[in-house]
Amino acid sequence: MKFNQNKIRFALRFLTGILFVMILTSGRCSNQNNKEEKENANSGIEVKFSQTDWRKEAKEMVDHQIRSRNVSNKSVLKVMEETPRHNFVPDSYRRYAYTDQPLPIGEGQTISQPYIVALMTELLELQGDEKVLEIGTGSGYQAAILSQLTREVYTIEIVEPLYELSTAILEQMGFDNVKVKLGDGYQGWIEHAPFDAIIITAAPPEIPPKLIEQLKPGGKMVLPVGTVTQELKVVTKTLDGKIMERTEIGVRFVPMVHPKDSLKKNR
Ligand code: SAH
């Protein structure tokens, strides 16, 4: 009898052991599956980020690429962390949406590197009540960032398919204080001028005079200037109308084109 009880106890322990090992290995399998799911998700067109995935990536982007390079404005960092950048990038590049580089958005244009977006936004020193003009809507990402930091955003794009795409995404995401116009940024947007701040996200060879005119006294313009080599500049118009400028860093942007040049290119 005693012998049988021992045998049963031994058999039970043996079975519990097997069960334990099975649970462990099945756990490992499901981790593996999760990893595979993620890898598959990252490999294709139509990549969908889950809520937690993109938030984690956006936080890492802000910590490692932006805060670490001394952009410190808390509101700018918060908005960069909370804006789903992958929504502004073509499907085939979505997996790189939070990496430290500019990305193609079609029509030979690019969405700027996250650090540059953050730096230019910080340099505008927005308080929250400004009317801002952006030249070069592109994907709409910079406009989306600005829209969360100020009262009104006006943005001009010269390439029609980009204008259409960015208008749709900004509307879909509910950034309704942003107005997009198809046109030539060199002309500014006279109906809504003057602007408290102007940001140009394509590089003109020199500061466009009409944009200087449309900048309010006391206002700020942030832009890359140059052709082969470019510099990121902060231009201020003093209250008595004087123009002051300083250079921040060397940069590389797509050129700001004139309508006749863009027509030639499309032919
Ligand atoms: N701010 C954009 C990046 C834009 S790339 C973003 O967040 O994605 C520069 C953009 O400027 C391109 O889309 C280009 O078509 C546009 N552009 C170039 N010359 C222009 C001009 N004269 N007027 C308006 N947009 C212009």
* pLDDT tens-digit series, residues 42-82: 333 345 688 779 999 999 999 999 999 999 999 999 999 99
Asked whether residue 8 carries a pLDDT value surpassing 60, the answer given is no
* Among 30, 43, 112, 166, the one annotated catalytic: 112
Q: How far is the CA of 212 from the centre of ligand 1 (A)?
A: 18
Q: What is the mean pLDDT of residues 15-30?
A: 38
Nearest CA to ligand 1 atom 4: 138
Q: Is 112 a catalytic residue?
A: yes
> Measured from the CB, is residue 148 less than 6 Å from ligand 1?
no
Closest C-alpha to ligand 1, atom 13: 138
Which of 51-55, 178-182, 210-214 shows the lowest per-residue confidence on average (mean pLDDT)?
A: 51-55
State the pLDDT confidence band at 5, using cuts at 50, 70 and 90. low
> Which residue among 87, 107, 142, 158 is best mutated to probe the pocket of ligand 1, counting the most ligand atoms within 8 A of its Cβ?
158
Write down the pTM of the prediction: 0.83
The protein residue with its alpha carbon nearest to ligand 1, atom 11, reads 136
Q: Is the per-residue pLDDT at 24 higher than 80? A: no
> Does the beta carbon of 158 sit less than 6 angstroms from any atom of ligand 1?
yes
Q: What is the mean predicted confidence (pLDDT) over 186-201?
A: 98
**Amino acid occupying residue 115:** Y
Check if 186 has its Cβ closer than 6 Å to any atom of ligand 1.
yes
CATH topology of domain 106-266: Rossmann fold (3.40.50)
Residue 111 CA, ligand 1 centroid: distance in Å:
9
Q: What is the pLDDT of residues 120-130, one digit of tens each?
A: 999 999 999 99
Q: What average pLDDT does the structure give for the chain?
A: 86
- 66 Cα to the center of ligand 1, angstroms: 22
Greater model confidence, 6 or 107: 107
Which numbered atom of ligand 1 lies nearest the CA of 105?
8
